[in-house]
Copies of this chain bind each other. A is one copy, B any other.
Amino acid sequence: MNEFELIEQLIQGFGDLTQADFIATGAGDDAAVIDLPEGQQLVVSTDTLVPDVHFPAGARADLVGYRSVAINVSDLAAMGAEPLGITIALTIESLDRSWIQQFAHGIAVASREFKVKVLGGNLARGPLNITMTIHGSVTRGDALLRSTAQIGNDIWLTGILGATRTYLANPTHPQSPIETLLAQRDADAVARYFLPHPRVEFALGIRNIAHGAIDVSDGLASELAHLTKASKCGASICVNQLPVWSGLEPLDAIGPDDSYELLFTADRSDRPAVLESAFTTDTPVVVIGEVVTDRNVIYTLDNKQVSPRTGFDHFA
């Protein structure tokens, strides 16, 4: 089987994931042709995963595939955008058919969960590298930006921090099928690491309530620095309020952590609306602090100011 036959088999394997009303021409031509819903803007983001940086080398291909999709979906959630489709650029050392098919299975599982279609891709030979580009849509002007947090806003966080740190401190290779792991996602650090849970539905629900928003892909401290810098403000965080993975110190959970949770700000008067959306979409969410004028991020634990570790720097 050569490269082109495998690509054709993959496209066939994805089945209805490559088809949608909005896909005029799908995978298999020089490019995909998409109809964007009327009155909507296109939202685009790209993310790369490399072994031993973004997942342990030797990790199961289906888990890598799922994680790759989820990480890209998380960027759309942080914009309050609705996912449409992904392109998948896979670079791999050899045409390992079983690895690639398992990888495609993980992509399919995630794509069904997050309602995202497969638009096409690229297959190249080289050290393993997965780069996906995700496309979504948002009603004109409704995108959640990093730059629109307002003084006095509550700072909210979905889910829980630190599961990925817990997993990476003792990385193992799970044996269960991906469907079993998915059911354990909220209770098992391994499952939580490989199967991030971007809060797409919830983000769509708070799109008209939230102000600044960002996803926690590097760590809370790092993301808060980006958010406050873009919004020209500061933040006061109550570390006691942080939802932290069992067994982890709160101050550690603030540091490097790619939990892909949603960090956003909203007016205090919108608390009931945020909680309503959380209830509807079964999303844990909590207020962890407040947007302040002074352009620093202050962390307080037991009423004392503390210093967190900083976020993840790929090249540090």
- In the complex, are the beta carbons of A143 and B33 less than 8 A apart? yes
CA distance A226 to B3 in the complex (A): 13
A306 to chain B, nearest CB (A): 23
- In the complex, are the beta carbons of A91 and B3 less than 8 A apart? no
Instruction: Tell me which residues across on chain B come within 8 A of A281, comparing CB atoms.
Output: none
CA distance A47 to B316 in the complex (A): 29
Instruction: Tell me which residues across on chain B come within 8 A of A88, comparing CB atoms.
Output: 46
- In the complex, are the beta carbons of A31 and B81 less than 8 A apart? yes
Range for the number of chain A residues in contact with chain B: 35 or more
CA distance A121 to B32 in the complex (A): 20
| Most chain B beta carbons < 10 A, residue from A88, A127, A141 | A127
Instruction: Tell me which residues across on chain B come within 8 A of A45, comparing CB atoms.
Output: 30-32, 87, 120
Interface pick from A34-42, A169-177, A284-292 = A34-42
- In the complex, are the beta carbons of A146 and B3 less than 8 A apart? no
Whether A43 is near chain B, meaning CB under 8 Å from some CB there, is yes
Additional A-B contact list (7), CB under 8 Å, known A24-B143, A89-B131: A30-B45, A31-B45, A31-B143, A33-B143, A36-B36, A48-B126, A124-B314
